Structure 1
Amino acid sequence: MLNESFIFCLEGVPDIEINPITEVVKNLEQLAFDYHIASIHKTCDTIEGLEESLSALLYDDHNFKDYEIIYLVMPGQENNIRLHDYYYSFEEIAELFEGKLKGKIIHFSNKKKLDLTPDEAQYFLDITGARALSGYGAKCSKVDSIHLDKAFFCLCQEEDDVIEIVEILHQKHYALCKFLDFRLYY
């Protein structure tokens, strides 16, 4: 990602009609101000809203190729996300976005644990076409992953090799990477 790239953030919220400025929005604004990394933030409260938001980006935004990171801030359990009190598996999500995420890095905040087997991760990557899938093996309500997320996003601006990105991230933020159990599947 040696060229400027952008972040597309989808945040799962209980009700999209109640649209307060969330901490995620504030942090994305700070990322833009401090590091000049532009982003689009959307909220969704259903799987249909998730699909609609990503499809609008894919089909209506002529700059879709510039969005290298799809940042998902959604609650859930290990290999599921929760929207509107329904759980959706990674397999369902992969099939929903079959072939639509080519070359993208899909990054989950630590609102949910990301604990995939190598086969599950490979299935997701193969079906969606994503370049990498990242997140955290530890869900810690006392520590938000946003600071490590921002460091990861900045490194994605500077480096193209995902392995190099993870190595640098661990060198610079070892304690936080270890505490939150940062994971990358590629």
Structure 2
Amino acid sequence: MDSDKFIFCLEGVSDVENDTATEVVKSLEKLAYNQGISSIHKTCDTIEGLEESLNTLLYDDHNFKDYEIIYLVMKGEANNICLNNYYYSLEEIAEIFEGKMKGKILHFANSKILDLNEEEAQYFLDITGARAISGYGTFSNKFTSTGSVDKAFFKLCQKEDDLIEIVETLYEKHYDLCKLLDFRLYY
């Protein structure tokens, strides 16, 4: 791998005790094999599990600075996530991540819609310290972002630091899917 940028994936599941390899795990394995982009995948089924996984990454993983993307694959509705049939707003998530995401890109798969206005996006970025938050304005059961657009986005983030350049290139190379899923990046 040419750069030392990794992906930390937190996937919301119904039961963390179930060890079945999900589509996300398979996609991350392909990304590592084909693109050389390393990742860590954790599952969580509660908000406490999400917070615990994040804290483990922050305080126990000495390579945390190398994780550029925090990849969140969780169901939910517009601007909230659902874990164990409980909904949490992005404001609540921002408070959990408070000050812990300096320089990171938080990327949501299209298993939930991300539709922030300018004020909501700025609040999330200010509270978390994140460099950007990205995701999709459209949910689709037919087309998941996991196998295509997300991988292309991650690859571009490895090669390029300029967020505008990343989005422009993503749209140039994957216009139809970006348009269909309504890719969005707030910074």
TM-score, scaled to structure 2: 0.98
- Tell me, in whole angstroms, the C-alpha distance in 2 between the residues paired with 1:129 and 1:152: 21
Q: Aligned letter for 2:140? A: C
What corresponds to 2:101 in structure 1?
A: 101
Size of the aligned set, in residue pairs, is: 185
* Offset of residue 97 of structure 1: 1.2
- Structure 1 runs (4+) deviating above 6 angstroms are none
Hey, what does 2:52 align to over in structure 1? 52
1:4 to partner: Cα distance? 2.3
| 1:103-182 mapped onto 2 (5 Å cutoff) | 103-146=103-146, 147-182=148-183
Name the aligned partner's letter for residue 94 of structure 1: A
Q: Which runs of 5+ in 2 are unaligned?
A: none
Report the secondary structure of 1:41's partner residue.
strand
With structure 1 as the length reference, what TM-score do the two structures score?
Answer: 0.98
Q: SS at the partner of 1:18?
A: coil
Q: Deviations over 1:117-153 (max 9, x none)?
A: 1100100000000000000000001111120000000
Aligned equivalents of 1:3 and 1:26: distance in 2?
Answer: 22
CA RMSD of aligned residues (A): 0.8
1:92 Cα offset (Å): 0.5
Distance 2:106 2:97 in 1: 12
2:41 alignment partner in structure 1: 41
Counterpart CA distance in 1 for 2:176 and 2:24 is: 23
Question: Could you tell me how far apart the structure 1 residues matched to 2:5 and 2:13 are?
Answer: 26
State how far apart, in whole Å, the 2-side matches of 1:69 and 1:27 are. 15
Q: Distance in 2 between matches of 1:73 and 1:94?
A: 16
Percent identity between matched residues is 71
SS of residue in 1 equivalent to 2:25: helix
